[in-house]
């Protein structure tokens, strides 16, 4: 699972992620020839990223290369069950990456086009948002 080794601030404010916000960074392919682009807004957990990575790794094997373009560094806190309100904020439970529409999540290269598109499509099924496969023009 992906988690940061060290963070400057242990707990963050929640922030707001409106669905109409469109990503301005990380929207183009930077490394590979094919990529998986998000079409929705969500907080993506490290478990979800890992599930998609495993599908891609199975296809790439030793023939190609894969890049993960997102990293979960936003801490999400949670209080234990059956605890009354008050007494401060809960402990850090897990880490997420806030995804906005247009963000490239994964890139892949070094394998045939049909295999790459199939792999990215299967990885997209593992994610809780709609995605599309993009290619370098």
The confidence score (pLDDT) of residue 1 equals: 82
Residues in the chain where the model's pLDDT stays below 70? 19
**Which ranges in the chain belong to alpha helices (H)?**
46-60, 113-125
CA 66 to CA 35: how far, in whole Å?
Answer: 10
Nearest by Cα to 134 from 36, 23, 22: 36
* pLDDT for the residue 7: 87
Question: What tokens appear for 29 in the block?
Answer: 């392919």
What gap in Å lies between CA 59 and CA 53, rounded to an integer?
Answer: 10
Question: What is the model's pLDDT at position 19?
Answer: 60
Nearest Cα to Cα of residue 39 among 19, 18, 55: 19
- Separation between Cα atoms, residue 53 and residue 126, nearest integer Å: 9
The CATH code for residues 34-73+91-135 is 3.90.1170.10
pLDDT confidence of residue 95: 95
Give which of 21, 37, 9 is closest to 103, Cα–Cα: 37
pTM for the model: 0.89
Largest Cα span, the chain: 56
Retrieve residue 121's tokens: 């499509």
């Amino acid at each position: 699972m992906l988690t940061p080794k060290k963070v400057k601030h242990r707990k963050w404010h929640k922030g707001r992620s409106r669905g109409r916000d469109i990503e301005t960074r990380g929207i183009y392919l930077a490394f590979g020839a094919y990529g998986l682009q998000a079409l929705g807004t969500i907080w993506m957990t490290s478990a979800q990223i890992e599930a998609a990575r495993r599908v891609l790794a199975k296809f790439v094997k030793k023939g190609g290369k894969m890049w993960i373009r997102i990293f979960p560094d936003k801490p999400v806190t949670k209080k234990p069950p059956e605890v009354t309100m008050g007494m401060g904020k809960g402990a850090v439970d897990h880490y997420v990456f806030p995804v906005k529409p247009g963000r490239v999540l994964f890139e892949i290269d070094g394998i045939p086009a049909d295999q790459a598109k199939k792999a990215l499509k299967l990885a997209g099924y593992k994610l809780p948002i709609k995605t599309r496969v993009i290619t370098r023009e």
